[in-house]
Amino acid sequence: MKKQQAIKIAAAAIIALAGIGMITTTTVYDDVYDSIVQVLCLSCLKLEPVTESDYTFETANGQPHPDYVLQNLTTGVVFLHYSEDACHGCDIMYPIIKELFQIEFGKEDMVYYEVPYHDQIVHYYYTNIDHSTEERGDGFFIYDKEHIGGLPMFSIVTVGYDSGIIRPYYTSLYGTLTLDTDEERLEFLQTIMHESIELWNENHGAYHPEEQ
Amino acid sequence: MKFQHKRLLTQLLIFLSANLRPFGVKTGFCFPFFYCNACPTATSGCPLRALELSVFENNYKWKLLTYPLLILGFLGVLTGRGICAWACPIGLFQRGTAKIARRVKKTPLAKKLGYHPIEQYLRYAKYFVLIGLVFFTSAIIGFMFTDICPIGFLTGTIPTLTLFWGKFVPSSFFIVALIVFILFIILIVLIERGWCRYFCPLGALLAPFNKVSLLHVARVEEKKFQKECLHCNACSNICPMGIDVTKLNRDPECILCGKCIEVCPKNLIHFEK
């Protein structure tokens, strides 16, 4: 009996040590924190955030806009696409984005394209939260204007006039845009892009990234 | 303090510790019980979500597979399915519906169904849920158990809709998940701990540990038991998991709630280390 108990205690100790070893020597704790705890699982929720396309100057977490956004705004609108591996909404939206910009990329890639769009340049950034760098991943929290924390998220950054200065002006859209068909989603994104490009055309002349 | 009150207090304290996000507490641990990370107040991640992600669309991530299994394995070796009775918030929720279920249990139809031979085989359904819905469909089809999980609906969807009214709308899985949730409520109202008995995939993961766990519920030695047992069946009648306690031998369904120990008039059942 005592021998059996000793074996069980040893087994518990080995499992505990393996667990502690795993937490201290691998990135598993951060992986769970970043991809399960920090990011809202819309699949688990069975809900989608309501899409509100109003623009704002204020970043969601008060942090400054990333440099790559500020610099690229001098030449065109910036489109930030955030996604993750296991995400039903993300799977619905991939083909729509690909059609919108006529581009190709893999689900796990981290890509940047300078896309010609209606005689303008659009800076397209695709970030899969599960396979991104810290800098690109942080953007998700900077532009999560509704504080949803869910994926997919699309942030369209343009420039706008704010009390005497031209500043980055953005909107963020979530999930499958609360629309039923792919055609409606594509049309909605095209309308937003059109608005953003108009704003950019009106204001970019007086935009200076170093003033931000 | 009565033993069952101690258990209730433990359940409440663990429930509180699982909901510390409003105080800024968020961790990268997996809960060792069933609780949804989509709950607006959840402190940690759901172990099933980690397991699903570990095999999702055949992209195997051994770390996400091993991590929750080590957490559950450690507690499993110590207490078997004790987590179900002492820590799981869904166990606490079912404790609330148990009174109705016990009344239903007394009706002739429920008695007939309760002793039906198929009831024993239904208990294997949870292993199919674990292997089929959590692992197989996630790996092969990409459909996840969390898309229709009734616990996610209870602890994630309902609180989110309540706290953030107007901010969210139902997704494509909402209706199916709502139907599953209604069935879940009917199940636990009709059968005490019906979810734990038949469908809980975490219960399925922990159940085998009952065979080897350090702490378990046991009868006194056979001779003494046969000699002194009054055959009053009070232990089996009170068991929330519907176990025939008189034949108890490291039953995989036992959740170590200790109700049989308390009720035995001859003290023939006890916790054993």
Is position B236 within any domain?
Answer: no
Instruction: State the DSSP code for B129.
Output: I
The pairing of beta strand A77-83 with beta strand A120-128: parallel
Q: Convert the pLDDT of each residue in B220-230 to its tens digit.
A: 999 999 999 99
Domain A44-211 sits in CATH at 3.40.30.10
In the prediction, which pLDDT does B113 show? Answer: 74
In the prediction, which pLDDT does A1 show? Answer: 66
* A14 to chain B: closest CA residue: B74
**Residue B89 and residue B35 in contact, taking contact as beta carbons nearer than 8 Å:** yes
Q: Convert the pLDDT of each residue in B140-170 to its tens digit.
A: 998 889 999 999 999 999 999 999 999 999 9
* A146 to chain B: closest CA residue: B167
- Mean pLDDT of all residues belonging to chain B: 94
Q: Which amino acid belongs to residue B76?
A: G
8 Å CB contact of B160 and A38: no
Of B152, B172, B213, the CB nearest to A44: B152
pLDDT at B115 over 80: no
Q: How many domains does chain B have?
A: 1
Average pLDDT for B170-187: 95
In the prediction, which pLDDT does B120 show? Answer: 87
Average pLDDT for B176-198: 96
The parent domain of residue B38 ranges over 3-208
Is position B121 within any domain?
Answer: yes
Q: Determine which of B25, B37, B178, B213 to mutate to test the interface with A (most A C-beta atoms within 10 Å).
A: B37
Is position B145 within any domain?
Answer: yes
Is position B48 within any domain?
Answer: yes
Looking at chain B, the whole-number percentage of residues with pLDDT higher than 90 is 88
Is position B165 within any domain?
Answer: yes
* Chain B CB contacts of A3 below 8 Å: none
Is position B232 within any domain?
Answer: no
Q: Is the ipTM of this complex over 0.85?
A: yes
Helices in chain B by DSSP H: which ranges? 3-17, 47-55, 62-79, 82-86, 89-105, 108-114, 118-122, 125-128, 137-140, 150-152, 158-163, 174-190, 194-198, 201-206, 222-228, 234-238, 259-263
* Chain A CB contacts of B147 below 8 Å: 43, 46, 88
pLDDT tier at B116 (50, 70, 90 boundaries)?
confident
**Residue B246 and residue B236 in contact, taking contact as beta carbons nearer than 8 Å:** yes
Is position B257 within any domain?
Answer: no
Query: Could you state, in order of their start, the residue ranges of all structural domains in chain A?
Result: 2-37, 44-211
Q: Is B193 helix (H, G, I), strand (E, B) or coil?
A: coil
* Chain B CB contacts of A31 below 8 Å: 28, 61, 63-64
- Per-residue pLDDT tens listing for chain A (212 residues): 688 889 989 999 999 999 999 999 999 999 999 889 999 988 889 999 998 889 999 999 999 999 999 999 999 999 999 999 888 899 999 999 999 999 999 988 899 999 999 999 999 999 999 888 888 999 999 999 999 999 999 999 999 999 889 999 999 999 999 898 999 999 999 999 999 999 999 999 999 988 77
DSSP states along B111-156: HHHHTSTHHHHHTTHHHHIIIIIIIIHHHHT---GGGT-HHHIIII
